[in-house]
């Protein structure tokens, strides 16, 4: 296959997460965190994009763009509002989303856990609770029973390494802990929870690929930073890549490059191009991490997230083109890459940073919730339809 073309069954999609788009996820640890003054959260997630009600509008949009898949997450706090108490209404809601995806020709990619916990689970110790793997397993069993026959691809835990890092080592996500020992306990719990969830999904109806989605970066050591680099690689990536044997795919999620000096991560070089998040602009990270994930764990790869926060949509188009060129190069080299999901469909609630980070290919009016596709949405859709990387960077109209 010529570089720049994608196989017929390649999945082109956009990704979202329940808490970031649904709105009023009031029974979750994140909602509580957003409403705690000391958390540093910029905004309350509030009504988010109101996708709890407007989800079919979202699916219609994904379909109309020409994408063939949609990645979304099921919200544990809604499905199991109290321990052992499951909501048929919530399960039915997600069942309708899955069914409608099929009606619209979209492969539904379902994530079981995307950053949030029900408040009752957080109160019982969250990922430090000895119950966590069993609890996530039981929740997953219910979800699998309700929607498994329609799932196209399942992701267990979204970026378990980021949940552990941000929540237990850097103290910026709930429960805002900074403790290496507790970080290690939680990291182990992530891997055992993942296994329990894989088992629960495989024991239920439907046969579909199951995998973990891992946050990866293009990591480098600068002089004297070799030990810090090696430690980060081990704890944030390799310990997970070794734990996914027997899964059906690895989900790669990547945004930038990280450099390590003797004291840990160093600032990006002066003059380097930055995104609105402050990250180094580095779409080449996709090719780097896909190659690395495939080499280390040997599984087929799905790029389950990559994207850029940018006011200037031309930058987003450039990012997408370079990222996809990297994916095409991997495929041309025989690496089994099955899909590419842009993060994210809609400008949405970016955790601690609230509504300040426009990652979406579609803008969302904060008062009316009107969805307004950006040129990048049409651009990605055109690539998805033609399965070819066409026009050179810069050929799109600027927003
Ligand atoms: C990833 C998360 C996603 C979003 C993007 C920008 O780490 O999975 O929810 O926050 O970053």
Residue 398's Cβ-side half-sphere holds a number of Cα atoms within 13 Å equal to 5
Query: 3-class DSSP state for residue 157?
Result: strand
Nearest atom within ligand 1 for CA of residue 213? 8
User: How far, CA to CA in Å, does 291 sit from each of 12, 167, 302, 385?
Assistant: 19, 28, 12, 25
Q: pLDDT per residue over 142-162, tens digit each?
A: 999 999 999 999 999 999 999
Strands 337-343 and 301-306, by their bridges, are: parallel
| Atom in ligand 1 nearest the alpha carbon of residue 158 | 8
pLDDT tens digits for range 33-85: 999 999 999 999 999 999 999 999 999 999 999 999 999 999 999 999 999 99
The alpha carbon of 165 and the centre of ligand 1 are apart by a number of angstroms equal to 13
Q: What is the pLDDT of residues 224-233, one digit of tens each?
A: 999 999 999 9
* CA end-to-end span of the chain: 33
CA of 275 to the centre of ligand 1 (A): 14
* Ligand 1 geometric centre to CA of 300 (Å): 22
Grade residue 192 by pLDDT with cuts at 50, 70 and 90: very high
Atom of ligand 1 nearest to the CA of 215: 7
The whole-number pLDDT of residue 395 equals 47
Report pLDDT digits (tens) over 292-309: 999 999 999 999 999 999
- Tokens at 48, concatenated: 């988010």
DSSP state of 388: B
CA 27 to the chain's CA centroid: 21
Which of 159, 173, 343 for a ligand 1 pocket mutation test, highest count of atoms within 8 Å of Cβ? 343
Nearest residue (by CA) to ligand 1, atom 9, is 17
DSSP 8-class letter at 355 = G
Cβ contact 30:346 at 8 Å: no
Integer Cα distance of 396 and 392 in angstroms: 9
pTM given for the model? 0.97
Query: How far is Cα 303 from Cα 326, in angstroms, rounded to an integer?
Result: 11
- Does the C-beta of 351 come closer than 6 Å to ligand 1? yes
Distance CA 259, CA 365 (A): 36
Confidence at residue 385, expressed as pLDDT on a 0 to 100 scale: 98
127: phi then psi, degrees, rounded to nearest 5: -75, -5
pLDDT higher than 50, residue 398: no
* Active centre residues (catalytic): 159
| Residue 315 CB less than 6 A away from ligand 1 | no
Backbone φ, ψ for residue 153 (5° rounding): -160, 140
Please tell me if the CB atom of residue 158 comes closer than 6 angstroms to any atom of ligand 1: yes
């Amino acid at each position: 296959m010529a570089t720049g073309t994608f196989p017929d069954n390649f999945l082109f999609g956009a990704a979202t997460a329940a808490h970031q788009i649904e709105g009023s996820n009031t029974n979750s640890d994140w909602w509580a965190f957003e409403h705690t003054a000391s958390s540093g959260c910029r905004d309350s997630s509030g009504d988010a994009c109101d996708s709890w009600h407007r989800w079919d509008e979202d699916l219609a949009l994904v379909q109309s763009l020409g994408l063939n898949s949609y990645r979304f997450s099921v919200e544990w706090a809604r499905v199991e509002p109290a321990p052992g108490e499951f909501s048929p209404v919530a399960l039915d809601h997600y069942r309708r989303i899955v069914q409608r995806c099929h009606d619209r020709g979209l492969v539904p990619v379902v994530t079981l856990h995307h950053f949030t916990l029900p408040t009752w689970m957080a109160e019982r110790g969250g990922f430090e609770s000895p119950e966590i793997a069993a609890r996530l397993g039981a929740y997953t069993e219910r979800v699998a029973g309700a929607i498994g026959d329609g799932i196209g691809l399942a992701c267990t835990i979204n970026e378990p390494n980021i949940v552990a890092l941000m929540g237990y080592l850097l103290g910026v996500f709930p429960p805002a802990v900074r403790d290496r020992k507790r970080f290690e306990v939680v990291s182990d719990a992530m891997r055992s929870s993942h296994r329990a969830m894989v088992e629960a999904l495989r024991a239920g109806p439907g046969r579909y690929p199951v995998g973990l989605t891992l946050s990866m970066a293009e990591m480098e050591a600068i002089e004297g930073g070799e030990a810090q680099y090696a430690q980060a690689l081990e704890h944030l990536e390799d310990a997970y890549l070794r734990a996914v044997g027997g899964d059906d795919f690895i989900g790669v999620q990547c945004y930038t490059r990280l450099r390590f000096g003797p004291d840990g991560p160093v600032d990006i070089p002066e003059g380097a191009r930055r995104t609105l998040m402050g990250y180094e602009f580095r779409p080449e990270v996709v090719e780097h991490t896909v190659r690395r994930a495939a080499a280390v764990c040997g599984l087929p790869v799905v790029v389950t997230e990559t994207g850029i926060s940018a006011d200037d949509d031309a930058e987003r188009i450039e990012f997408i083109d370079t990222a996809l060129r990297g994916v095409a190069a991997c495929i041309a080299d025989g690496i089994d890459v099955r899909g590419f999901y842009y993060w994210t469909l809609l400008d949405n609630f970016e955790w601690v940073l609230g509504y300040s980070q426009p990652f979406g290919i579609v803008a969302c009016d904060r008062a009316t919730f009107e969805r307004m596709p950006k040129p990048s949405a049409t651009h990605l859709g055109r690539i998805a339809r033609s399965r070819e990387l066409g026009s050179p960077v810069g050929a799109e109209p600027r927003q």
